[in-house]
Structure 1
Amino acid sequence: MPVTNEWLAGPSPTKRLDRDLLEERILNLLSSQNMCVLATSGADGPLATPVRYFHLGFTVMFTAVPTSPKMRNVAADPRVSIGIFAPLVGQASSRGAQVFGRARVLGIDDPEFSHHWPAFRWQSDHVERSRPLDEPPSGPLTVVEADRIVYTEHWLRRSGYAPRQFWKRQED
Structure 2
Amino acid sequence: MTSEEVDAFLAEQHTCRVATVGRDGPHATPLWYAWHGGALWLTSVVRSLRWADLRHDPRIAVVVDAGTAYGELRGVELRGRVEVVGEVPRTGEPVPELDGPERLFADRYTGGTVVHDGRHAWLRLVPDRITSWDFRKLV
Q: Same fold (TM over 0.5)?
A: yes
Q: CA deviation at 1:32?
A: 1.0
User: 1:37 and 1:143 mapped to 2: Cα distance?
Assistant: 15
Residue 68 of structure 2 corresponds to residue 84 of structure 1: no
Partner of 2:125: 144
In structure 2, the gaps of 5 or more residues are: 89-94
Residue 37 of structure 2 corresponds to residue 57 of structure 1: yes
Q: CA deviation at 1:93?
A: 0.6
Correspondence for 1:37 among 13, 17, 32: 17
Partner of 1:25: 5
User: 1:76 and 1:60 mapped to 2: Cα distance?
Assistant: 20
Partner of 1:97: 76
Q: CA deviation at 1:148?
A: 1.0
Q: How many residues align?
A: 128
Q: CA deviation at 1:44?
A: 1.3
> Structure 1 length normalisation: TM-score?
0.66
8 Å Cα contact 1:56-1:116 kept in structure 2: no
Correspondence for 1:122 among 91, 101, 106: 106
User: 1:32 and 1:114 mapped to 2: Cα distance?
Assistant: 24
> Structure 2 length normalisation: TM-score?
0.80
RMSD over aligned Cα atoms: 2.4
- Name the aligned partner's letter for residue 122 of structure 1: A
In structure 1, the gaps of 5 or more residues are: 1-20, 159-172
Q: Which has the higher strand share?
A: 2
8 Å Cα contact 2:80-2:127 kept in structure 1: yes
Partner of 2:48: 68
User: 2:127 and 2:19 mapped to 1: Cα distance?
Assistant: 14
Moved over 6 A (4+): none
| Structure with max Cα Rg | 1
User: 1:41 and 1:29 mapped to 2: Cα distance?
Assistant: 26
